[in-house]
Amino acid sequence: MRKQRIVIWRHGQTDWNTENRFQGHSDIPLNDVGFYQVRRSAEVLAGFHPTKIVSSDLKRAVSTGQALADLVNLSVITDKDLRETNGGKWEGKTGEENRAQDFERFTRWINGNDEPAGEIGERRSEVAARALAAIDRALDGHEGTLVVVTHGGTARCLLGNILQLPIEHWAVVGGLSNAAWSVIERGIKPLDRNNWILVEHNAGSLPQPVLGEESGGEAKAR
């Protein structure tokens, strides 16, 4: 069996990341730092010789994927099922604001509880299910290196599910920094054919802070 590789790549920085605002489905563009980050990361990721790029349809992810597509002569395929968690009533608000207005619910969610984000948003299990469906569609009939451009919270849900961790333990998967990536592979050895192995996590040229609490940023005390 030929080795199969997936690169899960978080979008570059946005102004809402630096303000610690819950972005969710809000269509926030990359800022100047974000564009710089993705250009630098794309130069490294081109060395994986990607054969397909699929991205969330939100502009911060599409712009990220396009930086790589321009280098490797591929098109960016968009799939809305790779979007960030729908944050419900938390979207657009800072972590401080959400703690002040919805402390108990927000704290439970940050700690890994599988309840709807922002009361009316998505559960982590729902995010994982739709994002995995998007990856299955992208992998259908495909061999080689698939680059999945997504969001910090979605990436964590994907990794927790793919690595078969109990949902209450997904929070132990560290967040991805902006424009950083994780790599999973299968088919390396006969016994690995049905299981994905995490071979890189939060990779990038230099360590960067994880910004955005839905993406695994450090929770601050109330």
Q: Contact, 196 vs 188, CB < 8 A?
A: no
Please return the burial class of 188, using the count of CB atoms within 10 Å of its CB with bins 0-12, 13-18 and 19+: middle
Instruction: List the catalytic residues.
Output: 11, 84
Alpha-carbon gap, residue 156 to 133, rounded angstroms = 15
Strand order in the sheet with 52-55: 76-78, 52-55, 145-150, 4-10, 181-186, 197-203
Q: What is the DSSP letter of 192?
A: G
Quote the strand ranges of 106-190, DSSP E.
145-150, 181-186
